Amino acid sequence: MNKEKLHLFVNGEEIFTEVAPNKTLLWLLREELGLAGTKEGCGAGECGACTVILNGKPVNSCLVMALEAKDGEILTIEGEAKNGELSELQKAFIKQNALQCGFCTPGMIMSARALLNRNPSPTREDIKEAMQGNLCRCTGYETIIEAIEYVVKGEVE
C-alpha cells in the first residue's frame, strides 16, 4: 500500500512521517511513535479509552484517520506531565483514587484536560457532560468527577 507524507505536532514535537491511508491516529501514535498511553478499548469510538486532544478538541483517535490530523496539534497522555512532573490533573486522579485498573485513565484525563482548557471553572454538570464519552468499569465515576472538581477548586498539592 502506498504511504503518504504526514506532518503534525505531537506533545509539542514536530513529526514528519509517512503513513498508509488506512492507518488511524490511534495506531500511528502507538505503533509509529511509541506512545502507548493511548489505549484501544472498543475500536469503535464508544469507550473513550483512546481519547487525545486534536487541535484543542477531544477526539476518539480510533475513529480519526492519521492523515486527517495533517498539520494538526495533538496532545496525548504522555504530554500531560511536564519535565517529569505530573500535572495537577494527574495528581488529583491519584489523590482522589480516581483510578483502579487504570486502562481508561489516559482517555479520562485527556477528556478532562480538554474540558479544563476550554472552561477552567466547570460546574459538576459540565464535568459530567464532558466525561460522557469515557467509560470506566471500575470506579463508578464519582471519584473521577471529584478529582476534576479538586483541580477546579485549586486543592491539588
- Report whether 9 contacts 72 (CB < 8 A): yes
Determine which helix (DSSP H) or strand (DSSP E) holds 73, and give its type and residue range: strand 73-75
| pLDDT, mean over the chain | 96
Encoded amino acid at 142, one letter:
E
Residue 104, CA distances (Å) to 65, 100, 115, 144 in order: 21, 9, 17, 11
Cα dist from 132 to 46, 107, 112, 135, whole Å: 10, 12, 11, 8
Mean pLDDT, residues 68-73: 98
**Is 64's pLDDT higher than 90?**
yes
Which residues lie closer than 8 Å to 23 by C-beta, 6 or more apart? 32, 65, 66
CATH topology of domain 4-78: Ubiquitin-like (UB roll) (3.10.20)
**The pLDDT of residue 13:** 98
The domains spanning 4-78 and 88-152 adopt the same CATH topology = no
Render pLDDT for 16-32 as a digit per residue (tens, 0 to 9).
Answer: 999 999 999 999 999 99
> Where are the domains positioned within the chain?
4-78, 88-152
Cell 460546574 found at = 123
CATH number of 88-152: 1.10.150.120
Q: What is this structure's pTM?
A: 0.95
pLDDT value for 71: 98
Say what the pLDDT of residue 156 is.
78
Mean pLDDT computed over 57-80: 98
pLDDT at 155: 83
Q: For 104, which DSSP code? A: S
